[in-house]
Amino acid sequence: MEDLTADRAMGALLGLACGDALGRPVEFRSPTSIESQHGRLDELVGHGTHNQPAGTVTDDTDMMLCIARSLAETGDFDGADIAERFLGWYESGPFDIGIMTAQSIRAFRDGTAWDEAGRQVWEASAEGSNAGNGSVMRCVPHALAFGDDPARLVAVSRESSAITHADPRCTWGCALLNLVVAALVRDGAEPEAALDAALDRVRADAPAELVEAAEAVPTLDAGDLQNTGYVVTTVQAGLYHGLRADTAEDAIVDAVAMGGDADTIGAVAGAVAGARFGASALPDDWVETVAVAAECRDLAEALLALSGDE
Ligand SMILES: [Mg+2]
């Protein structure tokens, strides 16, 4: 395996964890409130929202690791195994968990099949609260394991999303994001080429709102982005910062500075920027502070080994 490819694969997982950890203390805050307290927030600080030590990650990274461990240990996509790992994490009492995620995991715990629980929760949820970013924040391990087979990557990304987030905007959001990450990691693609190739593959089938939001990424202004937990705006913001920033650090710092769902927007931007620039481009003091950094590296190598040779 080419060293640069491995560095980018590690960057995807580690960038996600760094964005999550940088954003965690300022989740739910406004951009002006973050700025007045921290100026440019470019260090992993402790306390703040959820009152945790510096470098603590949240549900975004925890659930990403559930998926990555499952893929690495089973050697393939096994939705029931991923759902079991989500349940184990849920029962550990995490300090941060999304509503649809909690509802779906409880339905699975109570006997609903792993590929039914998320759909039932989605069908019972009203527009406005049925398409959160809780699956795009965790989906990137699939891009490393199935990046050699884009059609399978799309199918697996959608199935994995639907364990908790079955709305087509969520399932296709995961597919689109993972296609971009796979092109960056495997091919070392230029940002716009990676986005164009991903859009070409999903355009005919994905919801128009998602496709249009991603198509706008190269021409948007940062002021057009939104910091809510809606999957379409999170994918757009994550791609915007991840693909357009000059450095991995800028991508993650600027994503977190948006506030609102800062940890998840930081995580998605971090996955994209890490895949683009590589783990070696992430600030050393972040990597040293993030508790799960070593496991992210090991899992990235294991997942790459699952995908076919170029
Ligand atoms: Mg979180």
Helix (H), strand (E) counts: the chain: 16, 0
pLDDT digits (tens, 9 = 90+) for 236-256: 999 999 999 999 999 999 999
Residue count of the chain, please give it. 310
- Residue 126 corresponds to which amino acid? A
Q: What is the mean pLDDT of the chain?
A: 97
The answer to whether the CB of 210 falls within 8 A of the CB of 232 is: yes
CA dist., res. 214 & res. 179, Å (int): 12
pTM for the structure as a whole: 0.97
pLDDT digits (tens, 9 = 90+) for 79-130: 999 999 999 999 999 999 999 999 999 999 999 999 999 999 999 999 999 9
Taking 50 as the threshold, does the pLDDT of residue 1 lie above it? no
| Residue found by looking up tokens 């783990």 in the block | 279
CA dist., res. 5 & res. 184, Å (int): 9
Q: How many angstroms is it from 263 CA to the middle of ligand 1? A: 5
Q: How many angstroms is it from 265 CA to the middle of ligand 1? A: 9
The answer to whether the CB of 44 falls within 8 A of the CB of 263 is: no
Q: Identify residues whose C-beta is under 5 A from ligand 1, the ion.
A: 58-60, 96, 263
pLDDT digits (tens, 9 = 90+) for 151-166: 999 999 999 999 999 9
CA dist., res. 302 & res. 227, Å (int): 33
Q: Give the model's pLDDT for residue 308.
A: 72
Q: Give the model's pLDDT for residue 2.
A: 60
**Phi, psi for residue 131 in degrees, rounded to 5:** -145, 60
Q: How many angstroms is it from 47 CA to the middle of ligand 1? A: 15
Q: How many angstroms is it from 89 CA to the middle of ligand 1? A: 14
Q: How many angstroms is it from 97 CA to the middle of ligand 1? A: 7
| Sign (positive or negative) of CA dihedral 256, 105, 297, 177 | negative
Taking 70 as the threshold, does the pLDDT of residue 292 lie above it? yes
**Domains of the chain with bracketed CATH:** 3-40+50-306 (1.10.4080.10)
